[in-house]
């Protein structure tokens, strides 16, 4: 009885081990899933909604929709955004520190003008911290007027 069990267990063990080997061999022969990053630039599709960087869209006249109301700055939990304005509705600088951004999207969700949005360009690595602070409004840009 005991001897029979011993043989039986040995055989069933070998059978299960063989099943495992079969699975790994199956995967050995399957196409590989690795994404080869720098090579697949341009070929690989990045999802549109992926939150990677905050931007302020400008139109062809170098105009944006930001009224410098500061709601994004107020809503940001991490002090990522700093809005400065010298006069009401005139934006001087919209500074965005990507180094402290957690991509919670509260700024874009609460912006009354839909002036800022997230894009999926994710290549942010720099050698120093300095370039991580970005000015979102372009130099010389102005507020889009209502008529346009």
Partner 1 sequence: MNIFLQYILLGVAILVAYAVLALILIYVERKVCGFFQCRIGPNRVGPWGVFQSVADMVKILLKELVHIDKADHVLFRMASFFVIIGSICTFAALPFARGVQAIDFNVGIFYVLAVSSLGVVGILLAGWSSNSKYSMIGAMRSGAQLISYEISSGLSLMTIVVLSGTMQLSEIVEQQSDLWFIFRGHVPACIAFLCYLISGHAETNRGPFDMPEAESELTSGYHTEYSGIQFGFFYLAEYLNMFIVAAVASTMFLGGWQPLHIPGLDGFNAVMDFIPGIVWFLGKTFFCVFLALWIRWTFPRLRIDQLLSLEWKVLMPICLVNLLLMAVVVIW
Partner 2 sequence: MTQLEQLRTAGYDFLIDIVGMDWGPDEGLGVIYYLARSYDVADTISVKAVAEGGRENPSLPSVSSLWDVAQVYEREVHDFFGITFSGNPDLRRLFLRGDWVGFPLRKDYDPSVNHVPHTDETFREMDGEGLFAGDKYVVNFGPQHPAMHGVLHLRVSLDGEIVRRVDPHFGYIHRGVEKMCESYTYPQILHLTDRLDYLSGAIDRHGFCLACEQALQTEAPPRAVVVRTIFDELTRIASHLLGWGSMCMDMGAVTAFIYAMRDREKIMDIFEETAGGRLMVNYSVIGGLASDIHPNFQRRVREFIPYMRKMLREHHLLFTGNPIARGRMHGVGKLSLEKAISLGVTGPAGRASGWVNDLREVAPYAAYGQVEFKQKIRTGGETFDRYIIRLEEIESSLHIIEQLIDNIPDGSYAEKTKAVVRLPEGDFFQRVENARGQFGIHITSKGDKTPYRVKFRSPSMVLVGALKQIAPENKVADLIMLGGSLDYVIPCIDR
How many CB atoms sit inside 10 A of residue 100's CB?
A: 14
The single residue among 6, 8, 12, 131 that binds partner 2, judged by CB under 8 A, is: 12
Does 34 help bind partner 1 (rule: CB under 8 A)?
yes
Whether 93 and 135 have beta carbons less than 8 Å apart is answered as yes
Cα angle vertex 122, ends 120, 124, to 5°?
A: 145
With CB cut-offs between 5 and 8 Å by kind, which of partner 1, partner 2, none does residue 36 bind? partner 1
Quote the least distance from Cβ 9 to partner 1, whole Å. Answer: 10
Judged by CB under 8 A, the stretch of 23-31, 42-50, 82-90, 109-117 that binds partner 1 is 23-31
Q: What are the distances in angstroms from CA 14 to CA 5, 28, 64? A: 14, 21, 69
Does 90 help bind partner 1 (rule: CB under 8 A)?
no
Tokens of 102: 């957690």
φ, ψ dihedrals at 12, nearest 5°: -70, -35
Does 49 help bind partner 2 (rule: CB under 8 A)?
yes
With CB cut-offs between 5 and 8 Å by kind, which of partner 1, partner 2, none does residue 25 bind? partner 1
d(CA 83, CA 104): 18
* Residues in touch with partner 2 (CB under 8 A): 12-13, 16-17, 19-20, 22-24, 26-27, 33, 47, 49-51, 75, 77, 102-106, 109-110, 118
């Amino acid at each position: 009885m005991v001897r029979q069990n011993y043989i039986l267990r040995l055989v069933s063990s070998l059978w299960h081990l063989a099943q495992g080997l079969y699975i790994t061999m199956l995967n050995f022969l399957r196409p590989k899933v690795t994404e080869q990053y720098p090579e697949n630039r341009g070929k690989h599709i990045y999802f549109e909604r992926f939150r990677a960087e905050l931007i302020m869209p400008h139109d062809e006249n170098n105009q944006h929709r930001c009224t410098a109301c500061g709601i994004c700055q107020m809503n940001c939990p991490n002090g990522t955004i700093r809005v400065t304005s010298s006069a009401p509705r005139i934006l001087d600088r919209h500074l965005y520190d990507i180094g402290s951004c957690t991509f919670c999207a509260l700024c874009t969700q609460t912006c009354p003008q839909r002036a800022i949005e997230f894009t999926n360009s994710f290549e942010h690595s720099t050698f120093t911290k300095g370039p991580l602070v970005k000015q979102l409004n372009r130099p010389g840009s102005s507020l889009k007027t209502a008529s346009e």
